[in-house]
Amino acid sequence: MLTQKKFNKYLLYAIGEILLVVIGILIALQLNNWNENKNKTELGYKYLAEMKSELQDDVFKLDFYITELKQSIKNQESALNTKDITKLPLDSLLMIISPINLDFKMSELTYNKMNNLGITSLSNNDNLNSIILKYYNQDLERLKSSMNFVFNDLITYQNFFYYDQNKIDISSAFDTIPEFPSLYKQGVQEDKRELKFNIIEFIQSPKGRSLVLYDLDGKRYSLETLNTMQGKTTNLLKAVYNELKSYDPKTECLPTLPLSAVDIEN
């Protein structure tokens, strides 16, 4: 009986020790998970702050190209609406045939960084995480596809002036004083008058008219595309900022955004 009692006490003691070890392991695992989640959260919000900075830059970048496009379209339409195109000055004629370069890149550094690290979300806000994924996987991809199409048209249009025709000297059209006068058989004024005549002849030809109108349509399409993208970029910027503000009230306020952007409440 004494032996049985000793065995029972030992068994209870052993079970207690095992339970303590198990509880200790569980607590350690819990603490480890808590630390991992804490570090993951801190890293996510660090990247979210970087994304906010990139989105701010993109909003201003889009505003620059939107402003350029609006002015180019306005100048082109104004010149084309004149009653007698032959009376336009040379600079107005050049506005009619001048394309605009929209070869720019939107920021994807932070998003690519999180993908390379296998991070699928940057915050505890599931709705924001979904918006981020849609923005970079759909909206931005659609913009790149559209701008690539427009840029290819620009190259084709420029190649026409540089390689397919021999009347309009685009390379020196905007130069008041040529760098190498010996390349020109006439004086500056004579060359400008000849250039003006050739541009008018080009604009009024079937091919020239088609190219000019196609270029104008491309600018209008680009303006609509960039306006849409700026709205999406601004909305994401607002959502990211609000999330950062809720995580850290000391988050720096957004700068005053361009008038072409959607209003954002700080």
What is the three-state SS of the chain?
CHHHHHHHHHHHHHHHHHHHHHHHHHHHHHHHHHHHHHHHHHHHHHHHHHHHHHHHHHHHHHHHHHHHHHHHHHHHHHHHCCCCHHHCCHHHHHHHHCCCCCCCCCCCHHHHHHHHCCCCCCCCCHHHHHHHHHHHHHHHHHHHHHHHHHHHHHHHHHHHHHHHCCCCCHHHCCCCCCCCHHHCCCCHHHHHHHHHHHHHHHHCCHHHHHHHHHHHHHHHHHHHHHHHHHHHHHHHHHHHHHHHHHHCCCCCCCCCCCCCCCCCCC
Rounded to the nearest 5 degrees, what angle is found at the Cα of 95, between the Cα atoms of 90 and 96? 100
Any idea where the domains of the chain sit in the sequence?
2-247
Closest CA to 217 of 148, 153, 129, 159: 153
User: How high is the pLDDT of residue 258?
Assistant: 85
pLDDT > 90 in the chain, percent = 56
| The residue count for the chain | 266
User: How high is the pLDDT of residue 264?
Assistant: 38
Q: Give, in order, the Cα–Cα distances in Å from 40 to each of 46, 51, 226, 245.
A: 10, 16, 34, 18
| Full-model pTM | 0.81
Residue 235: pLDDT band (50, 70, 90) is very high
Return all residues near 62 (Cβ < 8 A) that are at least 6 apart: 226, 229, 230, 233, 260, 261
Write the Ramachandran bin of 123: left for phi over 0, alpha for psi from -120 to 50, otherwise beta. Answer: beta
Return all residues near 185 (Cβ < 8 A) that are at least 6 apart: none
Distance from C-alpha of 191 to C-alpha of 169, rounded to nearest angstrom: 10
Quick check: 47 and 119 in contact, CB under 8 A? yes
Distance from C-alpha of 80 to C-alpha of 74, rounded to nearest angstrom: 10
Return all residues near 206 (Cβ < 8 A) that are at least 6 apart: none
Mean pLDDT of 154-178: 84
**In this predicted model, what pLDDT tens digit does every residue of 180-229 receive, in sequence order?**
777 777 777 788 888 899 999 999 999 999 999 999 999 999 999 999 99
Q: Residue 186, Cα to own-chain centre: how many angstroms? A: 46
**In this predicted model, what pLDDT tens digit does every residue of 86-134 receive, in sequence order?**
999 999 999 999 999 999 999 999 999 988 888 878 888 999 999 999 9
Rounded to the nearest 5 degrees, what angle is found at the Cα of 242, between the Cα atoms of 133 and 134? 10
